[in-house]
Structure 1
Amino acid sequence: MSRVNTVLGPIATEELGIVAIHEHIGYGMPGSELDTKWWKTPEVRYEETVPKLRKFHEYGGGTFVDVTGICNGRDIDYYKSLSAKTGVHIIACTGFVGGDTALPFFERATVEYLTAQFVHEITVGIGNTGSRAGVIKVGVSRGGRMTDLDKRIYRAAARAALNTGVPILTHLAIDAENAIAIFNEEGLPLHRVLFGHADDGINAEKTRDTWIASQGGRVGFDTFGYETELEDPPFWARPRNERLDHFLRFLRAGHLDQALAGVDANCSPLGWPGVKGHTVNYLFEDLIPDLRDAGLDDATITKLFVENPADFLTIQP
């Protein structure tokens, strides 16, 4: 039976349903949980998060993939409680959003140490929670080029993916040449990697999305909803129609099988106010209707949000 690790245990791939592929229950920089300006009680975090996940479930959402990573607010026991309360499957990750978000303890770690860390969290569990990671997160640090630590994390992720069969998601799809070189050196098939944020407003023009697809990688258009039309748009915002047109061009270029879409939600931001007016439910309230208005049929919608994520997330021996 094909399966996927969720925080409440392994489930059959067929149970995933509609997947929000690149999201956050609560993301923040290391130490933000101790900042008195931004610290939130558990009650406040629940108040901000539970209604969003319940609405997601009511809309037909099945699975929320949390790619917050080590050091950025990952809280597995909290995720387990949320999943049980709302009925949404939550997949947690091992790995890091980027080398620049890793605490010094990990900054000095070798590839071998990082590999063992990732494998342990996938096969044994994260801390003492008993929950196993279902994906590995890696990322390019600020500056747009992979640092030495980024490269060690990418190499360790490739080895852990080969060892365990879980896939890799990236934060940003820039500097993909270096990333793909590492994955190729390690012998990791590129269909096990989702190169994320190909559509964000800062890096879209520098992201070689069709080239990544030609190499065999999957491409994530997963910052939908961060629009310049928002009341207070973030620095990575982009005009709504511009992002949508970019995604449609990618699909029409013959890359449907390699495309995944998400909204990079942050249900209860840690250490910053978040982006007003943006939730995971943009997927149902705006994105899917926009895609239908653009002429995509139900089979294509199912391909993008059910079949492609299921194929990607399935643990492969």
Structure 2
Amino acid sequence: MTKVNTVLGTIPAEELGLVAIHEHIGYGMPGSELDSKWWKTPEQAYEETVPKLRTFHENGGGTFVDATGICNGRDIDYYKSLSRKTGVNIVACTGFVGGDTALPHFARATVDYLARVFIHEITVGIGDTGSKAGIIKVGVSRGGRMTELDKRIYRAAARAAVVTGVPVLTHLAIDPEPAIAIFREEGLPLDRVLFGHADDGLNAASTPSEMIMGEGGRIGFDTFGYETELPDPPFWARPRKDRMDHFIDLVGKGYLDQLLVSADANCSPLGWPGVKGHTVNYIFEVLIPDMRTNGIGDAQLKAIFEENPADFLAIQA
């Protein structure tokens, strides 16, 4: 039986249910908690977050993967409280959203040191919470090309993934060639890597999704709901039909088993206002009906939201 680390303990992968593979309880840039313009009390954050997670659970959602890395507002004791209160499994990550979000202590560290940090958080626990990370987050820094720090973090993540058996989730799938080379050098099979944000309006055109999947990697269509049709769309928005047509095209080409889907919504943003009206429940309210309208059947939906994530998240040590 395969297992997955959640903040409340290790559970069988078969118990994950429907999985939102790339979401955030509360994401912010390092230092945002010091900006009084955006201060929130714990009660305010709780009030914003609990109804969203409860609705997710009531709609049939089983597991919420929090892709908030070290230095970006990760709060494991808070996640544990939310999980107990709402019934949603929460998977926390170790790693960094990108090298440009790593504070100097980590940015100056060696690959070996970073790998040890990741391995400790996966096998022993995050701080003194007793909760183990279930996934490793890495990312391409702003600018669209992997920096030397990004490459160090990717290499450390690959080493930790090989040792622990947990998978790697990337922020952006642009400039993937250096990442693929690092993963291969470190002996990490590419089916243990989800190359994220392959669908967003800013980067989709320059993301070689089919090349990545041809090499064995997985692709994240995980910005569903960030649409140009929104009253105040973010800069990474994309026309709703354009994104769906792209997804359906890849399904039609036989890539269903390598595609994972999410809304990348922020339950209670830290240091920025977030995107109004966009929550993890876009998956149920809009996305699944849209997929059905576009010919995605029940068996395919089960693969997209249950089977593919369970296979990806399962510890393979």
TM-score normalised by structure 1 residue count:
1.00
- Aligned-residue identity in percent: 77
Shift of 1:30: 0.4
For the pair 1:241 / 2:241, whether they are aligned, the reply is: yes
Partners in 2 of 1:92 and 1:44 — Cα distance?
22
Match of 1:67 in 2: 67
Match of 2:212 in 1: 212
Alignment of 1:190-209 (within 5 A): 190-209=190-209
Shift of 1:250: 1.1
Partners in 2 of 1:313 and 1:192 — Cα distance?
8
Alignment of 1:39-50 (within 5 A): 39-50=39-50
Partners in 1 of 2:243 and 2:60 — Cα distance?
24
* CA deviation string 1:100-145 (max 9, x = no partner): 0000111100000000000000000001100000000000000000
Q: Structure 2 counterpart of 1:51, which letter?
A: P
Match of 1:34 in 2: 34
Partners in 2 of 1:297 and 1:314 — Cα distance?
25
Q: Structure 2 counterpart of 1:189, which letter?
A: P
Partners in 1 of 2:26 and 2:109 — Cα distance?
26
Q: Structure 2 counterpart of 1:158, which letter?
A: A
Shift of 1:254: 0.8
Partners in 1 of 2:90 and 2:33 — Cα distance?
21
Match of 1:305 in 2: 305
Partners in 2 of 1:146 and 1:89 — Cα distance?
32
Shift of 1:222: 0.3
Aligned residues: 317
SS at match of 2:225: coil
* CA deviation string 1:84-105 (max 9, x = no partner): 0000000000000000000011
Given that residues 221 and 261 in structure 1 are in contact (C-alpha distance below 8 angstroms), is that contact kept between their aligned partners in structure 2? yes
Partners in 2 of 1:19 and 1:34 — Cα distance?
33
Gaps of 5+ in 1: none
Partners in 1 of 2:296 and 2:174 — Cα distance?
28
Shift of 1:277: 1.3
TM-score normalised by structure 2 residue count:
1.00
Given that residues 230 and 277 in structure 1 are in contact (C-alpha distance below 8 angstroms), is that contact kept between their aligned partners in structure 2? no
Query: Cα RMSD (Å) of the superposition?
Result: 0.5
Partners in 2 of 1:111 and 1:163 — Cα distance?
14
Partners in 2 of 1:170 and 1:253 — Cα distance?
23
Match of 1:168 in 2: 168
Match of 2:116 in 1: 116
* CA deviation string 1:229-257 (max 9, x = no partner): 11110000000000111111111111011
* CA deviation string 1:66-97 (max 9, x = no partner): 01000000000000000000000000000000
Alignment of 1:28-177 (within 5 A): 28-177=28-177
Shift of 1:10: 0.4
Q: Structure 1 counterpart of 2:23, which letter?
A: E
Gaps of 5+ in 2: none
* CA deviation string 1:204-228 (max 9, x = no partner): 0000000000000000000000001
Q: Structure 1 residue runs of 4+, over 3 Å off?
A: none
Q: Structure 1 counterpart of 2:241, which letter?
A: N
SS at match of 2:38: coil
Partners in 2 of 1:32 and 1:85 — Cα distance?
27
